[in-house]
Each structure stands twice: as structure tokens, then as C-alpha cells.
Structure 1
Amino acid sequence: MSEIPTYTPRSILVTGGNRGIGLAIARAFAEQGDNVAITYRSGEVPEGLLGVKADVTDAASIDAAFTEVEAAHGPVEVLVANAGVTRDTLLMRMSEEDFTSVIDTNLTGAFRVIKRASKGMIKLRRGRIVLISSVVGLYGSPGQINYAASKAGLVGMARSLTRELGSRGITANVVAPGFINTEMTAALPEATQKGYLDSIPAKRFAEADEVAKVVRWIAGPEAGYISGAVIPVDGGLGMGH
């Protein structure tokens, strides 16, 4: 009988990984035996994960976090850029600071962590970069010009990374979730929830682990020839826009 190959754990880093979709992603990798670290700004570190405090708007903070993860788990082989914020309001009420602060966290923050992670990946000649976007970045949403712009920008970032780093064995892909079952969606008025559900062909919200499993797959060996792709996890809401 041939021996079943053993799984070699990888060094994984998920930004904003102590709650919501980020935590589900971190747990999905941990379940398959990977060494998983998360960045967080506040709150508790979930059990079984290495937590490093970091602010994606601060390059020095990011560098220190990576140094800590590298000391514990080795160079980061899979980076999931998930950290994000919203400051929703209509265009005429949106201040420049409302706009730039969201861009700085969601888009420039992703640039900062990717730049730092790429150093180790280039040396290893392998790596997986997964950017967590949103159906809003592809579909648009009133009151979210800042958020939509930041999430749309991740697509151009992943595709440019693919052209720059593809020959080094590094892939860069985007996962774009739609509406997810969270405490926030559960607290919405029933009529609002119905309005959202009516627009989703699947007629339900996604669970966070449905997004997490797609992220885990796109970062795995079966998806080694996929790069620069945008994978919607939205029940058909955006229809691949």
C-alpha cells in the first residue's frame, strides 16, 4: 500500500482575523493544520491562533507584526488581506476624511501588507495572496463610494501583482463576498433584510465559513494555476460583474 502523503503546514497570516469573515478564514486554515497568525487592533485573540497587534495604516506596525509571525511560524506563505472599515454616507455628506480614511485602510493597507509579505515569498519562490473585496466593489452601492472604490481597487492590485510576481510562483486573487450572516445583518429591520434577500437569486445570506472555504481553496495546491481572478461568493447577486 502506498503511504498517504502528510500535509506540510504553511505559515498563514490573516489581517483583521479576530472576528467575522476574517476569523472564519483563520479557523478554516487552522482546521487543515496550518500555522495561522492574525492581526488585530483591539479585542481578544481567539484560541489556537497567534495574535499580533497591528494597524494596517502604519507601515512600521506592519513590519513589526510580520517580524513576530516570521519568528514563530517562518516566512508568510499565504497572506489574506481582510482588514477593512466602512464610513458610509451619501456623496454630498461625505467628507474628504471619510473617503481617504477608508481608502487608507482598505486599499493602501492591503498594499502595505502585500509589500511586506512579498519579500519572503520572492525568496521562497512561492506564495498565495488573497484579497478580500466585496460585491459592492463590483456592483456599486449608494452611500458607499469610498468603500466601493477601495474594494474595486483590490482587483487592479491583484491583476498587477499577477503580472509582476507570477513567474516567481506567487498567485494573487480576489474573493468578493456578498451579504453574510453576521450580528450586523441579524440586527437589520425585517423589511430591510427582505429587500436584500429579494435581490439575491439564492434567496439567502451566506455563512462566513462559505467564504472561508473558497479562500482556503484558492490559496491551496488545486488552484495553483489561477491568478488575477475575482471569485464572487454572493449567491448570484453580482452575476460576476
Structure 2
Amino acid sequence: MSHTLKNKRALVTGGSRGIGTGIVNRLASEGADVAFTYSSSPDRAKEVLQAAQTLGVRASAIKADSANASSVVASVERTVAELGGIDILVNNVSVLAIARIDELTLADFDRTIDVNVRAVFVATQAAVKHMKEGGHIINIGSTNAERMPFTGGSIYAMSKSALQGLAKGLARDLGPRGITINNVQPGPITTDMNPPEGEFAQMLKKLMALPRYGTVEEIAGMVAYLASPEAAFITGANLTIDGGFSAYSSLRSKQPQ
């Protein structure tokens, strides 16, 4: 790796599994000191922590409840205290409630908003108090903000759509301070909770230009780029990395009759 992030300090929320772990690993391999939050599975968090430390960077695992605003703020403050500041914030943690409208509960709605939207705002607000010029905020959204091909995803899609507007609005607030904020929108990605095989996966692959699931490393690569000096002129953007999933309608219209 090029170590383009050497001496940078990052916080990744929800870094103990899936895409979050991939991001922690990539940022550490690029030379950044990395803190990450987790809500359960301390053994898994320890593994991620040790993997980052073996790359020769400082690392910290912070237990936090992203549905609790005070816990989110505390995770940012602990990152600053342990790493000496914060230059990169990756708002990755997310929850998914899949059900039809008549089956969803208000508790489902509230938790989705609390974790997927409010926690992003709270963490960002806390982090920018410590960020200097050149800071980067990267939110992990979803291609489902723009395309929802299955039933039951209404409040999840809504929460990810909110991140689009938040990135655009905060880009205006933070631009004069030299801080960028962008929204990465993954499509179907292989994780232990989202296997690339099975009936559901096959349905999604049929809607993609590249008929395969993406990898956490591919998402982490986009995040590392946005956190690097090379991306200093990108802000307020919603960047989709979904194998052509969101291009489905245009692809379909060009199929021969």
C-alpha cells in the first residue's frame, strides 16, 4: 500500500464486521490510526483490532450504541483522546428492518432513523468540532436510496435517501472550513449477513450490469480514495458503487425486442 493516510486519524462506526471491517483494514493498511465502534461481539472486535495493530498503526475498539446520541458523542470524544484528534469519520453503522407497511412497527421506524440517520448527524456534529482543514467525512449509504426492487424496504430506503440530502447540505456548511463530506452508495455486497448465493441473491444479480456481488474491499477502496488528498475537490457527492444495479432501467430499455 502507498500509505497515503499516514499520520491521519480515523473513526469508523460499526467496524467489527462486514463493510466496516473492510474499511478499518484498508484505512489501517494506508497508514491511518483507526478507532472503530462495535455494539456486540467483543471477540470479533478484538480480532479486527489486532489485525489493524499488526499493520503498525494505533487502533482502538470502542463499544457504543449508535441508537444513543450520548454514546455516539462519547465514541468521537474517546477517539480524539486516544488518537490525538480526528481527520476522517466514516459513518458506516446501519440497521435494516424489512417488512411490509402493515407489518412495520413504530419501534422499527424509530430505530432505523436513530441509527441510520440521527447517529450520522450526531457523529458528524461531534467530529467536526475537532477537525481541521483537510478533514473528510464519508457516509455509507445504499443504492436502495435510488432503486428499491423488492417489497418491505421502505423505511430502509428512506433512511438512506436522507443521507443524500445531508451530504449535499453539509457540504455547504463545511466547504469553507476545508472539510469534505460524501456519501458512498454500495449495491449488493458479499458479507456474512448478505451471502452472494441463494434465491434472493440470484434475483438481485439479474438486475445488475455486472452479474455478481461486490466485495467489502471494493467499497473500502472507494472510502480510502475519498479520505485521501486526491479526493480533496470532491464533496457533497453521492457516489454509487453497485455493479450497474442502478442502471437497470436503462439497460432494460435497450434490450432487443
TM over 0.5: yes
Q: Aligned partners of 1:212 and 1:8: how far apart in 2? A: 17
Residue pair 1:40, 1:51 contacting (<8 A) in 2 also: yes
1:121-136 equivalences under 5 Å are 121=131, 124-136=132-144
Instruction: Verify: 1:149 aligned to 2:147, yes or no.
Output: no
Residue matched to 1:229: 237
Residue pair 2:143, 2:242 contacting (<8 A) in 1 also: yes
Residue matched to 1:19: 17
User: Structure 1 regions of 5+ residues with no counterpart?
Assistant: none
Q: Aligned partners of 2:232 and 2:31: how far apart in 1? A: 19
Q: How many residues align?
A: 235
Residue matched to 1:104: 114
Residue pair 2:207, 2:248 contacting (<8 A) in 1 also: no
Q: Aligned partners of 1:7 and 1:19: how far apart in 2? A: 22
Deviates more, 1:94-103 or 1:60-69: 60-69
1:42-98 Cα offsets, whole Å, 9 max, x none, are 113211231011112222212322222112212211000001101110112112221
1:36-115 equivalences under 5 Å are 36-44=34-42, 45=45, 46=48, 47=50, 48=53, 49-115=59-125
Residue pair 1:155, 1:174 contacting (<8 A) in 2 also: yes
Residue type of the alignment partner of 1:70: V
Following superposition, the deviation at residue 193 of structure 1 comes to 2.4
Residue pair 2:208, 2:248 contacting (<8 A) in 1 also: no
Instruction: Verify: 1:28 aligned to 2:36, yes or no.
Output: no
**Secondary structure of the residue that 1:199 maps to in structure 2?**
coil
Normalising to structure 2: TM-score of the pair? 0.86
User: Structure 2 regions of 5+ residues with no counterpart?
Assistant: 54-58, 250-257
Residue type of the alignment partner of 1:174: N
Residue matched to 2:180: 171
**Secondary structure of the residue that 1:232 maps to in structure 2?**
strand
**Secondary structure of the residue that 1:154 maps to in structure 2?**
helix
Q: Aligned partners of 2:137 and 2:154: how far apart in 1? A: 25
Q: Aligned partners of 2:183 and 2:211: how far apart in 1? A: 24
Normalising to structure 1: TM-score of the pair? 0.92
Distance 1:185 1:57, change over 3 A: closer
Instruction: Verify: 1:139 aligned to 2:147, yes or no.
Output: yes
Residue pair 1:12, 1:37 contacting (<8 A) in 2 also: yes
**Secondary structure of the residue that 2:181 maps to in structure 1?**
strand
What RMSD, in angstroms, separates the aligned Cα atoms of the two structures? Answer: 2.0
Q: Aligned partners of 1:229 and 1:100: how far apart in 2? A: 27
Q: Aligned partners of 1:26 and 1:127: how far apart in 2? A: 17
